[in-house]
Amino acid sequence: MKEAFDRMAKLRTYVDDNFSGRDWNLASAMVIEGTGGMQMMGDWAKGEFLKAGKKPGEDFVCIRFPGTQGSVTFNSDQFVMFQVGEDKQKAQQMMASSVMNPEFQSAFNVVKGSVPARTDVPNEAFDDCGKKGMADLAEANAGGGLFGSMAHGHGAPAAVKNAVNDVVTQHFNGELTSEEAVEELQNAVAAAQ
Amino acid sequence: MTIRKFAALAAGTALLSMAAGSNAVAEDTVEVLHWWTSGGEAAALNVLKEDLESKGVTWQDMPVAGGGGEAAMTALRARVTAGNAPTAVQMLGFDIIDWAEQDVVANLNAVAEEEGWADVVPAALQNFSKYDGNWIASPVNVHSTNWVWINKAALDAAGGKAPESWEELVAVLDKMKENGITPLAHGGQHGRTPRCSRPSFSRSAMISTRPRSTISTRRRSAPTR
């Protein structure tokens, strides 16, 4: 755990002085323009590169965070079906089925920058980063390396997520040493549960 | 049960199914609460809308933009409290579990079993699509967060090899610094910093100790107690 915080402190030394309050897409713009070298961000960042006319493999490279190939941290949009009157239940079941249609899952995710929730959807329509995302998901799923993203409410309930966020942010801002952060994290998570 | 009560119940059920039958003939409608309102997202969702309309299902759109879904959850709360929930609601993560615990979600087991969802949806996603063993949601997508996006020219100037380990990453970052650019483009909004650290963080905090699985097991077992 301490090593994780030590590594984050190291990464902090590669960030410019103006990062505070910057939107993630402006950080993407730095990489697009070449004033920044790289950005650690979810797959929605790809949309910024594509909008700027950049091509995967030619103008930018997508990789898993070094050392995490085989693992995928995810968040998943879902359509939750609610209890409705009997007159609406047939249409509800039809919609549930349509969402799971492989053609919809392909068409939707090509546009959205994410990958299908089904692992059996053909990858022809996706760009190289999308194809890699689909292969990585299948690999992580098969190897037990698929984990809910803490930052998006998939890793833990909100109280725990917020407790972790606070400690990690304080450490990143230099208010806590790695040793202190490890202890604070344990205390904060225990208090939140 | 007395005969009179049974007769009343049977009559009521007959009325109910007659009413349902006539409505179903009149119109099949879904009301969908979501926050996919930007150009590309709206276009993507339109694929679903058109598919349903080709099958005779009317799509009643209920877009609630803003706040990454927080505004949508507030709107949903009002509708559920009024006893008039929409058909389907876009939702993420533990929010799904929170609503499932309130016994207001539908059961999709019949269609899920018929179409074999369990075989094609990763188990980690099923943790959110199912509650208490029953399918309650259709998963649309998987976004993943442990990506690094690198400027190709900057990488070429820093040796050209995409880093595969922590040590290689540090070497590339050092080289980029020497080359006079900001090695790591970062935004400092609250809640974004943990994502930056997650890959190493998650390896020790989540991948080995897995707080999520213990938490969700505890939460899941609650309703059956």
pLDDT exceeding 70 applies to what percent of chain B? 70
Q: Establish if B20 belongs to a structural domain.
A: no
Q: Establish if B171 belongs to a structural domain.
A: yes
Asked if the model's pLDDT at residue B121 lies above 70, the reply is yes
In this predicted structure, what is the pLDDT of residue A79?
Answer: 98
The residue that leads in pLDDT, B26 or B156, is B156
pLDDT single digits (tens) A49-93 = 988 999 999 999 999 999 999 999 999 999 999 999 999 999 999
pTM: 0.80
Give yes or no for A120 touching B (CB within 8 A): yes
Give yes or no for B116 touching A (CB within 8 A): no
- pLDDT band at residue B174, thresholds of 50, 70 and 90? very high
**How many C-beta neighbours within 10 Å does residue B157 have?**
17
Between chain A and chain B, the number of residue pairs with CB atoms below 8 A apart is 477
Do residues B33 and B86 share a domain?
A: yes
In this predicted structure, what is the pLDDT of residue B42?
Answer: 85
Local confidence pLDDT in tens for the 193 residues of chain A = 899 999 999 999 999 999 988 988 899 999 999 999 999 999 989 988 988 999 999 999 999 999 999 999 999 999 999 999 999 999 999 999 999 999 999 999 998 889 999 999 999 999 999 999 999 999 999 999 999 988 778 888 888 888 898 999 899 888 999 999 999 999 999 998 8
The residue that leads in pLDDT, B127 or B68, is B127
In chain B, which among 123-182 make CB contacts under 8 A with chain A?
A: 123-125, 127-129, 136-155, 158, 162-166, 168-170, 172-173, 176-177, 181-182
Q: Establish if B225 belongs to a structural domain.
A: yes
Structural domain boundaries in chain A: 67-149
Do residues B77 and B46 share a domain?
A: yes
Do residues B33 and B84 share a domain?
A: yes
Asked if the model's pLDDT at residue B212 lies above 50, the reply is no
DSSP B161: P
- pLDDT band at residue B67, thresholds of 50, 70 and 90? low
| Shortest CA gap A191–chain B (Å) | 14
Do residues B56 and B85 share a domain?
A: yes
Average pLDDT over residues B67-95: 90
Between CA A103 and CA A101 the distance in angstroms is 5
In this predicted structure, what is the pLDDT of residue B68?
Answer: 67
CB contact under 8 A, B57 and A95: yes
Asked if the model's pLDDT at residue B12 lies above 50, the reply is no
A80 and B136 in contact (C-beta within 8 Å)? Answer: yes
Do residues B58 and B81 share a domain?
A: yes
CB contact under 8 A, B149 and A45: yes
Q: Establish if B8 belongs to a structural domain.
A: no
Between CA B197 and CA B54 the distance in angstroms is 46
Do residues B202 and B153 share a domain?
A: no
Please give the C-alpha separations between residue A168 and each of A9, A35, A184, B117, in angstroms, as whole numbers: 10, 26, 10, 37
B36 and B10 in contact (C-beta within 8 Å)? Answer: no
Q: Which helix (H) or strand (E) holds B193?
A: helix B193-202
Q: Establish if B22 belongs to a structural domain.
A: no
In this predicted structure, what is the pLDDT of residue A44?
Answer: 87
Give ipTM to 2 decimals: 0.91
Asked if the model's pLDDT at residue B199 lies above 50, the reply is no
| Tokens, residue A139 | 């690999």
Provide the number of structural domains found in chain B: 4
Mode of pairing for the β-strands spanning A36-40 and B182-184: parallel
B208 vs A contacts (CB less than 8 Å): none
Highest mean pLDDT, choosing among A120-134, B15-29, B191-205: A120-134
Give yes or no for B2 touching A (CB within 8 A): no
CB contact under 8 A, A168 and B28: no
Do residues B205 and B223 share a domain?
A: yes
**What single-letter amino acid sits at A142?**
A
Do residues B149 and B137 share a domain?
A: no
Between CA A105 and CA B39 the distance in angstroms is 18
A82 vs B contacts (CB less than 8 Å): 80, 85-89, 99, 104-106
* Bridge partner list, B142: A115
Do residues B34 and B84 share a domain?
A: yes
Do residues B114 and B84 share a domain?
A: no
Average pLDDT over residues B105-109: 98
Average pLDDT over residues B215-221: 33
Do residues B112 and B62 share a domain?
A: no
In chain B, which among 37-96 make CB contacts under 8 A with chain A?
A: 40-41, 43-45, 47-48, 51-52, 55, 57-58, 80, 85-96
Between CA A43 and CA A45 the distance in angstroms is 5
Q: Specify the CATH class of A67-149 in words.
A: alpha beta
Domain that holds residue B210: 193-225
Residue A76 C-beta-side C-alpha neighbours within 13 Å: 34
For residue A168, what is the nearest residue in chain B, using CA coordinates? B194
Q: What's the CA angle centered on B185, arms B181 and B187, to 5 degrees?
A: 145
In this predicted structure, what is the pLDDT of residue A113?
Answer: 86
Give the N- to C-terminal CA distance of chain B in Å, as an integer.
29
Between CA B67 and CA A113 the distance in angstroms is 20
Which among A57, A90, A133 is the nearest to B144, CB-wise?
A: A133
Q: Establish if B17 belongs to a structural domain.
A: no
Q: Which of A70, A94, A68, A69 is nearest to A81 (CA)?
A: A94
Tokens 């976004």 -> residue? B143
Which residues in B45-109 belong to E strands, given as ranges? Answer: 57-63, 88-92
Distance, CA of A179 to chain centre: 27
| Tokens, residue B211 | 């707080």
Which among B43, B140, B195 is the nearest to A77, CB-wise?
A: B140
Do residues B212 and B199 share a domain?
A: yes
* 3-class SS of residue B62: strand
Which residues in chain A belong to E strands, given as ranges? Answer: 36-40, 60-64, 72-75, 77-81, 115-116, 146-148
Please give the C-alpha separations between residue B154 and each of A193, B83, B177, B208, in angstroms, as whole numbers: 44, 57, 10, 34
- pLDDT band at residue B1, thresholds of 50, 70 and 90? very low
Asked if the model's pLDDT at residue B216 lies above 80, the reply is no
In this predicted structure, what is the pLDDT of residue B189?
Answer: 61
Mode of pairing for the β-strands spanning B147-151 and A36-40: antiparallel
